[in-house]
Amino acid sequence: MRRISRYLPLLFVLLCCIPFASAQSAFDLNVGFGAVQAKASSTQVDQNLNTCTTGDLYPPCVPTPALKGFMMGFGGDLMLWKKFGIGGEVVLQPGKQTYVDLSGSAGSLGLNSLAIQSRMTLFDFNGVFEPINTKKVALKLEGGVGAANLKFYESGSSSSVLGSQNQSQFIQSANHFNVHGGVGVEIFVTDHIFIRPQFDIHYVPNLSQFGSNLVKTEMVWIGYSFGDR
């Protein structure tokens, strides 16, 4: 909940647009759920996230994974004209994925397990084009720029006479520029409520933590449209 609350100011700004949108055209608020992918890098790292070579004994050298996992998002669009508008969205991993498993060195540190975990967040500000816009269906094309934030955490577990303890602490963050493009089909189930399956490509330069600068997301957005269509 603490992480989601960081994006409440964005939601407040979007809500402030509703009176203007009602007077001009349509304004949408939506929440989404889906998945993210980026292929794995051939790079191997140690527990300090420094590159290393297979065969190193300490710190142990382990491969890095592909980016994958469940995503959730928050966003909104303001259609200033029938076919053109602007929008913004935040898509994030609500949970952490294991970036490197360092269980091989956990025993020497008095731990049962040790891992570095990661969490990706994508921010986008977009121009919106709807070449098809009917009462029941709209084809939505988006393009814009934003940022990608990748946070890393150290996670471990240990045992004592008091039982098992789990611990996790933030260790570092990496920020990247993000160029975004997406296509979705908006299906209205009522006059105001819609479902939008959407496919997105994010070009994130210098995303060396993974094996590609291309990050793909597939989302299903559920939203409410204010104003006239």
C-beta separation of 188 from 224 below 8 A: no
- Nearest CA-CA partner of 7 in 28, 36, 34, 31: 31
CATH code, residues 2-226: 2.40.160.20
**What residues pair up with 19 in beta bridges, in sequence order?**
none
DSSP letter for 107, please.
G
| 176-229 pLDDT tens trace | 999 999 999 999 999 999 999 999 999 999 999 999 999 999 999 999 998 766
With a threshold of 0.85, does the pTM exceed it? no
| 43-70 pLDDT tens trace | 888 777 778 776 555 667 788 899 999 9
Domain boundary assignment for the chain: 2-226
| 157-178 pLDDT tens trace | 666 555 566 777 888 999 999 9
